[in-house]
Amino acid sequence: MPPLLIAIDGTAGAGKGTLARALARRYHLAHLDTGCLYRALGLAVLNQNLDPTDEQSVVDLARSLLSTLDLKNPALREEAVGVAASHVAAIPEVRALLFAFQRNFAQHPPEGMQGCVMDGRDIGRVVMPEALCKIYVTASPEVRATRRCKELHEKGIYSIYDDILKDIRERDERDQTRKVSPLIPAEDAFVLDTSQMTIEDVIHKACAYIDAKWVAPEKTRRAEGK
Ligand code: C5P
């Protein structure tokens, strides 16, 4: 049985991360949030007072930091880091460096797991085009901005809806129009617009799609009477 690979792509704040974590738990798969790779580099760029659009300095930094990027730093979730990430992500050499890391993860899922869930922007079309399951998650910018403000409010962080909405729109524009690996749904992706859905609905629909495509090893063994 080949490993189960699930690619999740979509716009910023559409719920990719929550869905990816839920699917990884349910199907016992490794999970890689690829946005963290770009965010970790964006954070390092900001910490060193570099300009995220200065290609040469960002690429030099990426080369020197690649094996030591801290993917667990809570500062990765900050708005400014997301914006810096979307700038560094438009640099072709940065994408090439991070591509190798992501391919390796897909081919050798850690801890002997039977596959992986990866979420990002170019997973179904570029990083894991061979993935059996491809899901594209989106929601209207207004819904995403409202969810983000609520999330920040719950963390006690003050935010202005109009500023968050503006950031989301600009980030979508950069992600969708960049020359290399723009955010476009894979032709064979299952598209989920989560604007009017609860997270439970989203997980339910995604699982129905995956279950219809993937025959789990246990089901095969049972069917074969082993
Ligand atoms: O998903 P998240 O918001 O954490 O991603 C931060 C930024 O990293 C995105 O806006 C996008 O520009 C970039 N990214 C990317 N390709 C990926 C994952 C993230 O370009 N596979």
Instruction: Judge whether 5 and 130 are in contact, CB under 8 Å.
Output: yes
pLDDT tens digits, one per residue of 16-59: 999 999 999 999 999 999 999 999 999 999 999 999 999 999 99
Q: Which residue has the higher pLDDT, 152 or 29?
A: 29
Query: How much is the pTM?
Result: 0.92
pLDDT tens digits, 54-108? 999 999 999 999 888 888 999 998 889 999 999 999 999 999 999 999 999 999 8
* Contact present, 148 and 13 (Cβ < 8 Å): yes
Mean pLDDT for the chain overall = 92
Q: Please give all residues whose beta carbon lies within 6 A of any atom in ligand 1, as ranges.
A: 12, 34-35, 38-39, 82, 85-86, 89, 120-123, 171, 175
Q: Indicate the pLDDT class of residue 219, thresholds 50, 70 and 90.
A: low
Going from the Cα of 120 to the center of ligand 1, the distance in angstroms, rounded, reads: 6
- Distance from the CA of 175 to the center of ligand 1, in angstroms? 8
Q: Which amino acid is at 224?
A: E
Quick one: which atom of ligand 1 is closest to the CA of 86?
12
Q: How confident is the model at residue 218 (pLDDT cuts 50, 70, 90)?
A: low
Q: Which two tokens stand for residue 136?
A: 């594209």
At the topology level, CATH places domain 4-223 in Rossmann fold (3.40.50)
- Once rounded to an integer, what is the mean pLDDT over residues 155-163? 90
Q: Which residue has the tokens 């580099």?
A: 41
Q: What is the mean pLDDT of residues 211-222?
A: 75
- Give the residues across from 43 on adjacent strands: none
Contact 105, 30 (CB under 8 A): yes
Facing residues of 136 across strands?
9, 191
Token pair 């749904």: residue: 185
Strands (E), 158-209: 190-193
Look at ligand 1, atom 16, and give the residue with the nearest C-alpha. Answer: 121
